[in-house]
Amino acid sequence: MKKAIMFAVGLFIYAALMWYYLFHGAQTDIPIQLKGSAADPTMFMNEHQLKLSYDFSRIKDWIYFLSVPLEWLIYLLILGFGLSKGMRKLTGGITKFSALHTALYVLLLTFLSWLLTFPLRYYSYTVSKSYGISVQPFKGWMKDSLIDFWVNYAIMAATVIVLYFFIRKFSKRWWLGAWLVSIPFTIFMFFIQPVVIDPLYNKFYPLKNEQLKEKILTLAKKADIPAHNVYEVNMSEKTNALNAYVNGIGSNLRIVLWDTTLDKLKDKEVLFVMAHEMGHYVMNHLYQNLIGAIVLSFFGLWFGSKLYKWFILKWGEKWGLKGPGDLAALPVLLLIFSLLSFAAGPVENMISRKAEHDADRYAIELTKNPEAAVTSFQKLAAEGLSEVNPPGLVKFFLYTHPTMLERISYLQSYQK
């Protein structure tokens, strides 16, 4: 209890320091040479929008930086207070069938974690709503949250059943067997994402604007992309922000436009956004992401197995764990993978930012319309209340894309 209180106090101090850094300590002034340029937010946002953008971005960033150690604290509390051991005993009393026992334990653990993080997620939703980014009623948000819970639970339960099968059968090399099984599973998830998982949250349909659709397909033909359709999704029911993306692999690959993007961007701006997404396809970024996920999981599982063994040896007895094969030790694994994911995040972000910059370059070379490219990014920033030049720590840990300052200034340099 004493250690839990100390950790909670530490979390509070950390949250206060992050708040100070984000709202008072971070240096985010626009470089002098870019003041008055198209990258200067004062040139395309009014004073009210600038204030909203600053406050909204900083609050959302603070929520992220708070949510990560909160997740770690939850796992430690579940272990330290013997809750994991109790859940293992409770679910073991219901059934002796290993797979079902594991599924029930994971359900309890997932629900407990979901419940404990609910206040912060709800706060994040209310912030988006109060700043006019989210337009989704609570009922719709709650529905998405529950879908999220069950999708994550299904994936988690299947993963844990496989993991503990290998841990119990091959105590030293369990990570290798788990990694080999994860390869087809990762490929399968990439393949079904656009056609099975995404439609659980939104409605997808072929682009209604036939003229624009023809322009996009003509652009795709110019890029040697065998595209036959473009999809839009009804995001206006949930948000005022703009976006487009490409996901899936093989025959299930989809290029998708949010209907908010279609409503608020001109055709020439939409074509630049589409060209950017086509750049990801042409440069095989999706397949590179797939390979990257497989390689990363190899090192993550290998290093994670070493840390797992060390954690069990050092604290397993205190937490009432019977050994690495004890299901009650799952929070230890989840804690380790969360720590590793957080540590690897900046490297993944750096690689992603390079890919996004390459896609920007491809798009401008394909469309030859830097003016439309600049105005599309300006509108994306203004409508989503995105901070043009975020704090350094935010970019380092959160940004998978170059900042709007970098993207717009690059397009300006291309224009010259």
Find the largest Cα–Cα distance for the chain: 72
Query: Using an 8 Å Cβ cutoff, are 389 and 406 in contact?
Result: no
What tokens does 246 get? 């490409």
Query: Using an 8 Å Cβ cutoff, are 405 and 388 in contact?
Result: yes
pLDDT of residue 1: 64
Q: Distance (Å, rounded) from C-alpha 105 to C-alpha 72?
A: 19
Which of 249, 355, 238, 228 minimizes the C-alpha distance to 294? 249
For 38, which DSSP code? T
Radius of gyration of the chain (CA): 23
Residue 245 three-state SS: strand
Residue 363 three-state SS: helix
Low-confidence ranges of the chain (pLDDT < 50): none
Kindly report, residue by residue over 113-157, the tens digit of the pLDDT: 999 999 999 999 999 999 999 999 999 999 999 999 999 999 999
pLDDT of residue 171: 85
pLDDT of residue 150: 96
Residue 71, φ and ψ in degrees, nearest 5? -60, -45
pLDDT of residue 387: 93
Token look-up 């060209």 returns: 275
Determine if residue 228 is labeled as part of a ligand binding site: no
pLDDT of residue 248: 77
Query: Using an 8 Å Cβ cutoff, are 223 and 170 in contact?
Result: no
Which of 126, 181, 189 minimizes the C-alpha distance to 152? 189
Going across the sheet that includes 204-206, the strands are 204-206, 231-233, 254-258, 244-247
Query: Using an 8 Å Cβ cutoff, are 87 and 328 in contact?
Result: yes
Query: Using an 8 Å Cβ cutoff, are 222 and 246 in contact?
Result: no
Residue 302: count other Cβ atoms within 10 Å of its Cβ: 13
Active-site residue list: 277, 360
Determine if residue 280 is labeled as part of a ligand binding site: yes
Hey, where are the domains in the chain? 131-201+285-415
Kindly report, residue by residue over 219-264, the tens digit of the pLDDT: 888 888 776 778 899 999 999 999 888 877 777 778 889 999 999 9
Determine if residue 276 is labeled as part of a ligand binding site: yes
Per-position DSSP letters for 165-198, written without gaps between them? HHHHH-TTTHHHHHHHHHHHHHHHHHHHIIIIIG
